[in-house]
Amino acid sequence: MKKRMLGRSGLEVSALGFGCMGLSYGYGPGLERAAGVQMIQAAFDRGVTLFDTAEAYGALNEETVGEALAPIRDQVVIATKFGFKNGNTNEGLDSRPQRIREVVEESLRRLRTDRIDLLYQHRVDPNVPMEDVAGTVKDLIGQGKVNHFGLSEAGAESIKKAQAVQPITALQSEYSLWWREPERELLPLLEELGIGFVPFSPLGKGFLTGVIGAQTQFAADDFRNVVPRFTAESREANQALVEALKGIASARGATPAQIALAWLLAQKDWIAPIPGTTKLHRLEENLASAQLELSPADLQAIQQALAGIEIVGARYPAARAALVNR
């Protein structure tokens, strides 16, 4: 696995990380804890060094990450997040300094570690000045409990405010072939400030793999059930993007998922996507994309294919959309 530096921070990670959320949260039943541990360790065995979790994914998620990585703690980068009231996305935001400190102590315990390598604010809290958030994390860095500071789904002004108090190592936001909004304002700003970018949902929450169609039924507790982009009508309309990807992938002897990930890696050398999966064969498929070098002709073909396709459906329900890019 190739390595990348997140901006000018000095933090080196594998070109592809592993998003742990889906192991136990968000996408249906998930895995039993032992199986989740095995999946994380399988990712490490194949070269992954960046592992992403969050308080909001539930105690089990951080505990699974902690158990899996404890034997190899010094060889990996563990990222987690604070920012929701009681760690529950349905209860609203809470980035008060006291709460940040409490979450860090709880995360350290669950993760079985003495420091968090990369600590993100999960969503910008309009009720707490960004300067206070960044200042609290700066204090935690000074105490050795945190090594690097990150923001998730933050807008340009919040990034600038935080950067002025405590240098940001990485921004985590959604970015993929079917959500390219970060290219407009965020990527130029990150490059200017020397901040790395960690795209989540780099496969469009699974859609870009080509295995989700209009007739696909999601589990009752799969959050895609409430995402406008995943209505049956939207999925049917958005198949045009997947079909274009399949054509490009076929010509390269690759899969649509591999093309989608390789495209992300080709955008900037300080981008480290974090695809997640509960299946070993998907893990291996995803990681193989790090070895797939897209030619200028490939990238042009993808660009031309995208230019004629309109993506249908918002990426979040209205209430969730209000929490991003602020």
Active site residue ranges: 57
Q: Measured in whole angstroms, how far is the alpha carbon of residue 9 from the centre of its chain?
A: 18
Q: Which residues pair with 93 in a beta bridge?
A: 84
Inter-residue contact 107 to 55 (CB < 8 Å): yes
Find out whether 172 and 153 touch, Cβ atoms under 8 Å: yes
Strand pairing partners for 168? 149
Q: Do residues 57 and 85 make contact, with C-beta atoms less than 8 angstroms apart?
A: no
Question: DSSP state, 154?
Answer: -
Q: DSSP 3-state assignment of 5?
A: strand
Pair 12, 3: CB distance under 8 Å:
yes
Is there a contact between 229 and 201 (Cβ–Cβ < 8 Å)? no
Rounded CA-CA distance 253/307 in Å is 23
Nearest to 168 by CA among 60, 43, 9: 9
For residue 147, give the H/E element and its range: strand 146-152
Spatial distance between the Cα atoms of 239 and 229, rounded to a whole number of angstroms:
12
Nearest-5° Cα angle at 32, 31 to 36? 65
- Three-class secondary structure of residue 143 per DSSP: coil
